[in-house]
A and B are shown apart, each in its own frame.
Chain A
Amino acid sequence: MSKPKVAFFDFTSCEGCQLSKLNLEDDLLDILELVDIVNFREAISDRGEDYEIAFIEGSLSTPHCIERIHKIRRQAKILVALGACAHIGGINAIRNKMDQDEVRETVYGKDKYLFPSIKAQAVSDVVKVDYYVPGCPMDNQEFKKVLSALLTGKIPEIPEYSVCVECKAKENECLYDYGIACMGPITRAGCGAACPSNGHYCYGCRGLVPDLNKNAAKDVMEKYKLSMSQIKKRFYMFNTNYVNMEEKEYE
């Protein structure tokens, strides 16, 4: 049986998710036994265009991105979004709340017309995404689980419950006990509650749980005397694209 051909592509991102693959030093040789990597800009110079599984890193933020992602989608049998930018737009989406012309001017100055850009979008806003490895940075262990499931013909599963589930299982003290607004109750688990376990509130980098309750957020804000702007700031870190969607019901 020939090995499945795999490609990695980067879009608007810090490229850290891709780079972290190269940190899988103990497993890299095993992985190469199982798959042929044909395109991986950060690791190899080949640029193969024949692949079955495409891993996408980064959000889509230029007209060129849109063109490229369609081309990849046409080729790939399976498309997996890696990391927060590809999954939910992530940090890049912070600028979506600003005046787009001003943003371009700040970055490119008088050359702004040479660099057309659009609002930063998740990959799934443009093409069908089959599976996700969420998070910023994405977790290599979860990447291995997803890859292993794909190669054994299973559906890769990522948690659909909240970070609280993992946080409670670790018996952490709840940050709300200390009056700290934490995104844990509404953020998708899978990180092992990494931030709350290390003394920081959850940033929500793994995206929101599938059935967000907007009303509950209002009540909790009231209880802990948190302002709308404090809550919004928490959302803006990774979930800007979703605040826009929900804003009416929050206010």
Chain B
Amino acid sequence: MASKALPKDKIPQAVSILKKQYKVIGATPKGKNFVFKEIEDPNEVTLDYNTTILPLKKFFLPPREVIVEFNLQSKEYRGEDIKVEPKVFFGIHNYELQAVFRLDFAFKNGVSDETYLKKREKNVFIGVSYIPDDFHFSESVGIPTDLKEGFDIFLTRYDSHYRVEAMTEKGREIENAWEELLVPCDYEGDPVVHFKNKLKQSVAGIREIFHGAYNHPIWKETARKCYSCGTCNLVCPTCYCFDVSDEVILGTDKGVRARRWDSCQALVFTKVAGGDVFREKRYDRVRHRMSRKFAYIMDEKDRPFCVGCGRCVRQCTADINIVDVMNALL
């Protein structure tokens, strides 16, 4: 089947074309790692990366964000003034976008979170296929590498080029804008890729197993190794818990209400008014994180809130591996 491809050496040009209409966000190297950032120089973007330190959530739910400004004297308050700019997320792995959809679910349901949802407007996603490293385990949580759901364009990686597949109207517009860069290519199916890191069984039955695992010894064994530093939550693409605080600026009546990423692994997270602590034991908190990923929300949505990006495993100084923990239960 004839198809169109973007040669690897034309990527900076493809980014330059996008930059005419959009803010472009993509992965760039940072030391030994990668980060998503707004692309200034089209040459800095890379499509060949394992995972970034932080996921895309930082663009929709910033690490710290002022949500309300208030004045104690006049009793006036004003929400955040969000400027919606068209953005292209260029070179995004499929688990990353799946995670964004899960955040959407969390922020739309119940009381919808306009501060988040506004930032999700006018987003265009250009996907790219990837080769799983030792940490990825997306296939085990229902996200095989050829899943292209939700992308406007998907780029499948081959040796010298990326096969271009436009899937939406926006995607076709971009494909047309790239017209002069594209070359014909043969398409014989997506390359088969294997994951080294995997769960012993499919996600379908995980929920039931979880419900019987409340007193499993793995929670205490894992907690023995855990610092409760919170890294796993911060780098997780589907963790969205935040803490809200009010601050009055010294000597004025003005203040702000801000929210910042929080971690359910920190003891203080479970401290409530009156000083009570409802998950005082470290193993309670370890179990809570896993339950949030594989049980509680699955009950509602039938998809785990883990997308298998492997960030929490890669970045854990204490070497706690969510896959090993899960496999102990399965």
Footprint of B on A, CB under 8 Å? Answer: 27, 30-31, 33-34, 144-145, 147-149, 151-152, 154, 157, 159-162, 164-165, 168-174, 176-178, 184-186, 209-211, 213, 215-217, 219-220, 223
Q: Which residues of B contact A223 (CB under 8 A)?
A: 317-319
Given the known inter-chain contacts A148-B247, A148-B249, A161-B266, please indicate yes or no for A168 contacting B227, CB distance below 8 A. no
Stretch from B26-34, B130-138, B209-217, B293-301 forming part of the interface with A: B26-34
Pairs across A and B, CB under 8 Å, 25 listed: A27-B250, A30-B251, A33-B251, A34-B251, A144-B250, A147-B250, A148-B248, A152-B248, A154-B248, A162-B227, A162-B229, A168-B230, A170-B63, A173-B30, A173-B31, A173-B32, A178-B32, A186-B229, A209-B267, A211-B282, A213-B227, A213-B282, A217-B227, A220-B317, A223-B319
**How far is it, in angstroms, between the C-alpha of A33 and the C-alpha of B252 when the chains are bound?**
11
Which A residues lie within 8 Å of B269 (CB)? 161
| Inter-subunit contact B30/A171 (CB<8 Å) | yes
Decide: A160 near B268, CB < 8 A? Known: A174-B315, A219-B225.
Answer: yes
| 10 residue pairs, one from A and one from B, having the closest CB atoms | A30-B251, A169-B63, A160-B268, A168-B234, A161-B266, A164-B229, A185-B229, A148-B250, A162-B229, A185-B227
Contacts of B317 in A (CB 8 A): 174, 176, 185, 220, 223
Contacts of B109 in A (CB 8 A): none
CA distance A148 to B255 in the complex (A): 11
Task: Give chain A residues whose Cβ lies under 8 Å from the Cβ of B282.
Answer: 211, 213
- Is B172 among interface residues, defined by CB-CB distance under 8 A? no
B315: A residues at CB distance < 8 A: 168, 174
Q: Is the interface of A mostly helix, strand, loop or mixed?
A: helix
Beyond the given pairs A173-B31, A213-B228, 16 more chain A to chain B contacts, judged by CB atoms under 8 angstroms and listed by A's residue number, are A154-B248, A160-B266, A160-B267, A162-B227, A165-B230, A169-B64, A173-B32, A174-B317, A185-B229, A209-B228, A209-B266, A216-B224, A216-B225, A216-B226, A216-B318, A219-B318
Give the residue name and chain of the A residue nearest to B315 (CB): A174
Complex contact B225–A215 (CB within 8 A): yes
Q: Which residues of B contact A217 (CB under 8 A)?
A: 227
Contact A171 B224 (CB under 8 A): no
CB distance from B83 to the nearest CB of A (A): 22
A171 shortest CB reach to chain B, Å: 5
> Cα distance A21–B29 when bound, in Å?
40
Which of A27, A159, A216 has the most B CB atoms < 10 Å from its CB?
A: A216
Instruction: Give Cα A164–Cα B53 distance, bound, in whole angstroms.
Output: 13
- CB A67 to nearest CB in B, in angstroms, measures 33
CA distance A161 to B250 in the complex (A): 25
Closest to B247 in A: A145
Cα-based distance from A170 to B54 in the complex (angstroms):
9
Q: Shortest distance in angstroms between B318's beta carbon and chain A's nearest beta carbon?
A: 5
A219 and B225 CA atoms in complex are apart in Å by 7
Q: How far is the CA of A145 from the CA of B247 in the complex (A)?
A: 8
Q: Are B250 and A31 in contact (CB under 8 A)?
A: yes
Chain B, 36-71, contact with A by CB distance < 8 Å: what is the 0/1 string? Answer: 000000000000000001100010000110000000
B321 in contact (CB, < 8 A)? no
Question: Given the complex, which residues of B lie within 8 Å of A161, measured CB to CB?
Answer: 230, 262-263, 266, 268-269
Q: With A157-B245, A171-B30, A173-B30 in contact, is A27–B234 under 8 Å at CB?
A: no
